[in-house]
Structure 1
Amino acid sequence: MEFIKEETVIGFIGTGVMGTSMARNLLKAGYPVHVYTRTKKKAEELIQEGCIWRNSISQLAGSAKVIITMVGDPTDVKEVYFGEFGIFQSTSPGTYLIDMSSSSPMLAKEIHQEALQYNLFALDAPVSGGDIGARDGKLAIMVGGDRSVFEAMRPIFSVLGENLVLQGEAGAGQHTKICNQVAAASTMIGVCEALVYAEKAGLDQTAVLKSIETGAAGSWSLSNLGPKMIAGNFEPGFFVKHFIKDMLIALESAKEMGLNTPGLELAKNMYVELSKSGEDTSGTQALIKLYKINVERVTNS
């Protein structure tokens, strides 16, 4: 099914660090965008740029042909969709629902099944790429659901990202995001250790980064977060608290499958320690602070 862009109202729920950029890109692409978030102040920039504010989820859901949710954790997702004044209680048949939050595969399946009961079309479509990918419309989008629904939503996905892959049935998008976070968790440990090692060896960390980022050690984290670590820039592209949430979802899913993930468990424990030190709303690159603290302890012991 093809939609006329100017007549396809997109309701966007959740205007955090990434959601704001995503909604902005849809607006710039010519879609009418209606927004709702629990704290209206977070949506002020978008409202000034032309997005229409809605006072409740039900009000937004009643006006949109496509609803995109980008909220914090599975509890928030469940409330947004299944709550007393949530999406399922307020949406007209034929509406497309896209949950782009990082959430539970099991919950994604529940949303898909409930959507069928209401004659709605649901996809789970979590993303990767951080604030930079959201800003530049270059996110990786991992989708679970029916192919026909995916194809209908492809023009919208194409505004938000470049790497668009239908991974399988409902829940497959969330499972793929878990794979992403499992890989990213251990990678972040490696990036921190490499940069601290370079510093301890008396090397220029930026020069080291230039040499290793195009070799076998290359990764998105090394190229994008490594420079931030060197500069002492811990502004969030992705919050520490949200990364912990994703790792907990991953550990729970792995346990359900009887899978042992020691690297993930180690990373989770380190990030929990970082969180306890007051870094909950820092970017994930703040993990290097733990290493520097440990280096100082060893040096001073």
Structure 2
Amino acid sequence: MGTVIGFIGIGVMGKSMVRNLQKNGYHVLIYTRTKDKAEDLIREGAEWKESPKEVTGQSNIVITMVGYPHDVEHVYFGVDGIFNGISPGKIVVDMTTSTPTLAKKIAQEAQKRGIGALDAPVSGGDIGARNGTLSIMVGGSKETFERLKPVFEILGNNVVYQGEAGSGQHTKMCNQIAIASNMIGVMEALVYARKAGLDPEKMLQSISTGAAGSWSMSNLLPRVLKEDYSPGFFVKHFIKDMGIALEEAHKMDLKLPGLELAKQMYEAIAEKGEGESGTQALIKYWS
């Protein structure tokens, strides 16, 4: 049998990532906390395992894509976690958006055990996961990165090695910082257009291809116009990411007022019950 990939965390993006690995000939072992969420993948040929430890014991490469840093900590260091089921020579890849500090902790533990470890968070949402066009930001050993590059290239079309352990997570923080203020601008443009009596679709047609254009404008604003607030990326997870970025900025004695404002606005809509909505639900801040 060739390379077997373990995949832990079958969420909005993880499910599509597993499918792309399967389409490219990999046998994938999966685990997620709620088995029901993985039933369709199991029918499509993915093999269910009962714990991260069990996945790890039978895989050459283990990819994790869970929700929060505390989930990452549990999946790697828990009683039934990855480090209790792994043997030398294997590779672990955390694609969760997590903290640079935890990425370094995982890398240090992996090194002790003779294991390769990468932090490789992604950007591109559900669309990028489905189309295999994610942007993947990788930290860790350059040698391990080169070994994993063919796998990354199945999942994304912009795969960049950023440097030592934690560098992938720091790069993802830059990504989230840029998106946060941009999302405010995109939604304010729509609010202004409506107030001015413009046709929002015509406004979007005019400005989305010029200097104001962005991924959020082209991919998320059309969802708002259809009143589609389904999650390509959850509001609750974006709030988590902004919190990580602000914590890291504080450690560097760096003030990020745009990010602070965006987090406050997203927290306001989460308090209204939008935590499970997609990030485009920011428009509801004005309602």
Q: TM-score when scaled to structure 1? A: 0.95
Residue aligning to 2:30: 35
Whole-Å Cα distance in 2 between the matches of residues 155 and 192 of structure 1?
A: 37
Q: 2:40 aligns with which of 33, 39, 45?
A: 45
- Which residue matches 2:267? 272
Return the offset for 1:231. 1.2
Q: Deviations over 1:39-62 (max 9, x none)?
A: 001111110100000011111110
Is 1:59 aligned with 2:59?
Answer: no
Q: C-alpha displacement at 1:238, in angstroms?
A: 0.3
SS in structure 1 at match of 2:206: helix
Q: Which residue of 1 aligns with 2:111?
A: 116
CA deviations on 1:41-95 (whole Å, 9 max, x unpaired) are: 1111110100000011111110000000000010000110111221111111111
Note if 1:248 corresponds to 2:240: no
- Match runs of 1:137-156 below 5 Å: 137-156=132-151
Alignment gaps of 5+ in structure 2: none
Structure 1 runs of 4+ aligned residues shifted over 4 Å read none
Which among 13, 19, 44 is matched to residue 18 of structure 1?
13
Alignment partners' CA distance in 2, 1:273 and 1:161: 33
**Which of residues 193, 196, 204 in structure 1 aligns to 2:199?**
204
| In 1: Cα distance, 2:41 partner to 2:232 partner | 18
Q: In 2, Cα distance between the equivalents of 1:80 and 1:56?
A: 9
* Residues in 1 aligned to 2:27 and 2:168: alpha-carbon distance in whole angstroms: 26
Q: CA deviation at 1:273?
A: 0.6
The match for 1:134 among 107, 129, 139 is 129
Alpha-carbon distance between aligned partners in 2 of 1:57 and 1:173, rounded to the nearest angstrom: 23
CA root-mean-square deviation: 0.6
Residue identity matched to 2:217 = L
Matched residues in 1 for 2:155 and 2:146: separation? Answer: 15
Structure 1: any 5+ residue segments left out of the alignment? 1-5, 294-301
How do 1:175-194 and structure 2 match up within 5 A? 175-194=170-189
How many residues align? The count is: 287
Letter in 1 for 2:9: G
TM-score by length of 2: 0.99
Q: Indicate whether 1:283 and 2:278 are aligned.
A: yes
Distance in 2, Cα, partners of 1:127 & 1:276 = 27
- Following superposition, the deviation at residue 290 of structure 1 comes to 1.1
Q: Distance in 2 between matches of 1:227 and 1:69?
A: 31
Deviation at 1:179, TM superposition (A): 0.2
Q: Partner of 1:265: helix, strand, or coil?
A: helix
1 CA distance for matches of 2:178 and 2:262? 10
Letter paired with 1:84: V
Q: How far apart are residue 110 of structure 1 and its match?
A: 0.5
Task: Confirm whether residue 167 of structure 1 aligns to residue 162 of structure 2.
Answer: yes
